[in-house]
Amino acid sequence: MGDMGGAQVTEAVAGAVALLRTATDRDWAGTRAGRLAWSCREAAEHIASDLIAYAGQLAGRATTAYVPFALTLDDGTDHDGVLDVVETTGALLAAAVATTPPDVRAFHPYPFRSADRVGFAAMGVTEVVLHTHDIAEGLGLTYEPPAGLCAEVLGRIFPHVQPGTDPWRTLLWATGRGDLPGRPPVTEWRWRNNLAVGTERLTLQGVTPAAAADLAAGGDGGFDWPDGGPYQGTRDAAGMLRKAYEAGVHRPEWGVFTLVRRTDGRAIGGIGFHGAPDEDGRVEVGYDLVPAARGAGHATEALRALAGWALQRPEVTAVFATTEPDNHASQAVLARAGFTRVADDAELFAYELRGR
């Protein structure tokens, strides 16, 4: 999977508008949009409103709330005019995504109070394809967006949803719009943007399943790496994340994070959990850095931040890590981050940091 961006927003909008323009002579205002309480006209206007809102969040670099504006169409705007607005707002979001640096995050309430450009692109695409489906269902049209586009959306902002063999049917099921064999009906749902944890010099960017698949396959995961890419440990961790996602057991906040340097936006390492906390509240962490970034305290800074974040969660009592006896650099990182050595043998030393 490649990085989701403005091109995918444009693709989704173009496909939706092309279909809906074939039915502009019908009664949109008097026809319910699928299972929604809105009419088809209201659903179409909602698509445009969301696209411009997301563009505004990115362009305005909003960090604490939605930018306080709303889209209002001129009186007398016909259905073709509404679709003109959808095309225009889609172009604005695509442009905002394309011109926003990858490390910028803007406010979005769920679930971690922010999203990056990839998240806003994925949310925009989701609004377009789902509400086009709703409108098409109301108007009796046949609509199915590209499978690759749906798989990208699922892998970016539905990391908690086990992928299925048909990405479009899986997305419809995950949003309460259809059934999947062997899975219970969905009555409430939310997408999940990735978590970011900030430090003085770094941003720990949560790796999505889509980015993990690219990293595990030898790609860059949408990040700018020095020296040709991440250290092998990051690729291995990404592969384990992807397997957990495919098995339906991935917990996004207990996954993998990329260390992004604030000064230049470059990714210099990986850090993450080996899974969710166990029944005793213990969670294991691991980390690595590209060779060029070692020796500057970045690993210690990242470990302090992620361990601190974990220990603020009520289900966590302790964070632990293991390292080889001859890995003195890693042992020094753990000691500087406040960890205490609690056990050792000929193969591994174990370190722990307990909550208060």
Read off the pLDDT of residues 101-154 as tens digits, 9 standing for 90 and up. 988 999 999 899 999 999 999 999 999 999 999 999 999 999 999 999 999 999
Q: What residue spans define the domains of the chain?
A: 6-174, 196-354
| Residue from 281, 301, 304 nearest 293 by CA | 301
pTM of the complete model: 0.95
**CB contact at 8 A, 333 and 303:** yes
Whole-angstrom distance, CA of residue 242 vs CA of residue 219: 14
End-to-end CA distance of the chain: give it in Å, rounded: 42
- Quick one: pLDDT at residue 344? 87
State the CB neighbour count (10 A cutoff) for residue 103: 19
CATH topology of domain 196-354: Aminopeptidase (3.40.630)
Give the per-residue pLDDT at 345.
84
The 3-class secondary structure across 263-304, one letter per residue, is CCCCEEEEEEECCCCCCCCEEEEEEEECHHHCCCCHHHHHHH
Cβ-Cβ contacts under 8 Å for 266 (sequence gap 6 or more): 223, 224, 225, 226, 260
CATH architecture of 6-174: Up-down Bundle (1.20)
Same fold, 6-174 and 196-354: no
Asked if 23 and 139 touch (Cβ cutoff 8 Å), the reply is yes
Q: What is the pLDDT at residue 1?
A: 44
pLDDT score recorded for residue 143: 98
Residue 143 contacts residue 133 (beta carbons within 8 Å): yes
Inter-axis angle of helices 232-247 and 209-216, nearest 10: 130
C-alpha to C-alpha distance for 294 and 288, rounded to whole angstroms: 9
User: What is the residue whose two structure tokens read 């995050």?
Assistant: 105
Separation between Cα atoms, residue 250 and residue 245, nearest integer Å: 5
H helix and E strand count, the chain: 10, 10
pLDDT at 192: 96
Q: What is the rounded distance in angstroms from the CA atom of residue 353 to the CA atom of residue 335?
A: 10
Tens-digit pLDDT profile for the chain (356 aa)? Answer: 457 999 999 999 999 999 999 999 999 999 999 999 999 999 999 999 999 999 999 999 999 999 999 999 999 999 999 999 999 999 999 999 999 998 899 999 989 999 999 999 999 999 999 999 999 999 999 999 999 999 999 999 999 999 999 999 999 999 999 999 999 999 999 999 999 999 999 999 999 999 999 999 999 999 999 977 898 999 999 999 999 999 999 999 999 999 999 999 999 999 999 999 999 999 999 999 999 999 999 999 999 999 999 999 999 999 999 999 999 999 999 999 999 999 988 799 999 999 86
